[in-house]
């Protein structure tokens, strides 16, 4: 088993029986840096695959050729550029952070070039048609993704305390890149959201009476605030319909509504609405940004609402404004009537 690979305390000393397994060291290093759980899962999986690919040899015995061969094997199987780069980042994390081997060859490895894609953007009529096909919590979630520019997981992980009805704001905690930000709460969503929270609160109070009602907290907050998992303000805005048992505490908890539920609902709604272009949860976020640009809002403001680190990322929406390609009028349209055949 790959998990049984352990590291000696020093290169010349025999390994101790209590030395942590290699993948446990990877998990510890990731958690120390407060990376997301998804990053931890992905990195551990890629590092395991890297070790198995090289016959379960210890990574200390490997170097640049081994890393290049592994990434090249992914490319040969048709793995996307972004996935290749994720695998490479995981392996380099293993060498540099876990094994402490920062060497020159790491800077020489070429990352896969990701293709530049123009984002899919829906017209206002398409968004309206799509939303009209949804009902219940998935309608409210899709409305917030379009109305506030939320990513899928940002929407699913909203907690009660993150909503400010008085200020008309949503606070996004630990967004992409572990950044917090504030975005707009659509005025038209306030009353439906209040009605939804009333039902969720009644469900939470019933869970508490049944000896349940706790929720997972980020990082080590549970140690600092032991009662917080049961408090209303920390509950998910969109809780799951079923409980799960937490392995560490044995508590029966509700997770947030799984992302796949919303993804499937949006896809089905787009099909029912007859929308020809591919409609996804993220295309609603793209539409939010583009429609704000069309309405004349400043691109720096949109950058902050979206949580982009660099304004160049936000600038891509200027290419899909509702003005044709880059706002250019085709020369054919300038020839006047009577120049074509029907």
Task: Give the per-residue pLDDT at 45.
Answer: 94
Q: What percent of the chain has pLDDT over 70?
A: 82
Q: Tell whether the model's pLDDT for residue 237 goes beyond 90.
A: yes
Q: Tell whether the model's pLDDT for residue 51 goes beyond 60.
A: yes
Task: Give the per-residue pLDDT at 271.
Answer: 94
Q: Tell whether the model's pLDDT for residue 151 goes beyond 90.
A: yes
More confident residue, 247 or 44: 44
More confident residue, 5 or 114: 114
Task: Give the per-residue pLDDT at 264.
Answer: 96
| Burial grade of 212 (CB within 10 A; 0-12, 13-18, 19 or more) | middle
pLDDT, averaged across the chain: 84
Look at residues 201, 203, 128, 209 and name the one whose alpha carbon lies nearest to residue 163: 201
Tokens of 214: 């706790």
Write out pLDDT tens, residues 268-301. 999 999 998 889 999 999 999 999 988 888 889 9
Task: Give the per-residue pLDDT at 175.
Answer: 72
Tokens of 230: 């049961």
Which amino acids are annotated catalytic?
A: 151, 176, 282, 285, 308, 317
7: helix, strand or coil: coil
Q: pTM of the predicted model, to two decimals?
A: 0.73
Q: How many helices (H) and strands (E) does the chain have?
A: 14, 5
197: helix, strand or coil: helix
| Dist. CA 173–CA 231, nearest whole Å | 18
Average pLDDT over residues 191-196: 96
Average pLDDT over residues 93-111: 73
User: C-alpha dihedral over 270, 287, 187, 213, to 10 degrees?
Assistant: 60
| Burial grade of 270 (CB within 10 A; 0-12, 13-18, 19 or more) | buried
Distances (CA, A) of 162 to 153, 158, 159, 197: 14, 6, 5, 13
Write out pLDDT tens, residues 222-234. 788 888 899 999 9
Q: Are 253 and 272 in contact (CB under 8 A)?
A: no
pLDDT band, residue 236 (cuts 50/70/90): very high
Task: Give the per-residue pLDDT at 327.
Answer: 55
Domains parsed from the chain with CATH numbers = 2-108 (1.10.150.130), 124-320 (1.10.443.10)
**Angle separating helix axes 124-132 and 281-294, nearest 10 degrees:** 140
pLDDT band, residue 8 (cuts 50/70/90): very low
164: helix, strand or coil: strand
């Amino acid at each position: 088993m790959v998990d049984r690979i352990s590291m000696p305390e020093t290169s010349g000393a025999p390994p101790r029986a209590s030395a942590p397994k290699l993948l446990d060291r990877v998990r510890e290093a990731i958690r120390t840096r407060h990376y997301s759980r998804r990053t931890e899962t992905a990195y551990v999986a890629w590092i395991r695959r890297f070790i198995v690919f090289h016959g379960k040899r210890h990574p200390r015995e490997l170097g640049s050729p081994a890393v290049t061969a592994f990434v090249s094997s992914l490319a040969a199987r048709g793995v996307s550029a972004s996935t290749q780069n994720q695998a490479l980042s995981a392996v380099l994390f293993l060498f540099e952070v876990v094994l402490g081997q920062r060497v020159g060859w790491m800077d020489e490895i070429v990352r896969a070039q990701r293709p530049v894609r123009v984002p899919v953007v829906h017209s206002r009529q398409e968004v309206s048609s799509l939303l009209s096909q949804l009902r219940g919590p998935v309608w409210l979630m899709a409305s917030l993704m379009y109305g506030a520019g939320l990513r899928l997981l940002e929407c699913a992980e909203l907690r009660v305390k993150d909503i400010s009805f008085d200020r008309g704001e949503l606070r996004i905690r630990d967004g992409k890149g572990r950044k917090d930000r504030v975005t707009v709460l659509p005025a038209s969503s306030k009353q439906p959201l209040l009605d939804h929270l009333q039902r969720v609160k009644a469900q939470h109070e019933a869970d508490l009476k049944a000896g349940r009602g706790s929720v997972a907290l980020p990082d080590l907050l549970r140690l600092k605030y032991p009662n917080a998992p049961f408090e209303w303000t920390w509950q998910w805005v969109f809780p799951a319909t079923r409980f799960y048992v937490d392995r560490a505490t044995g508590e029966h908890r509700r997770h947030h509504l799984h992302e796949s539920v919303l993804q499937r609902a949006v896809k089905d709604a787009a099909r029912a609405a007859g929308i020809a272009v591919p409609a996804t949860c993220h295309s609603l976020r793209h539409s939010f940004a583009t429609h704000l640009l069309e309405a004349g809002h400043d691109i720096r403001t949109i950058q902050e609402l979206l949580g982009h680190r660099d304004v160049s990322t936000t600038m891509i929406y200027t290419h899909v404004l509702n003005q044709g390609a880059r706002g250019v009028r085709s020369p054919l349209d300038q020839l006047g009537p009577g120049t074509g055949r029907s």
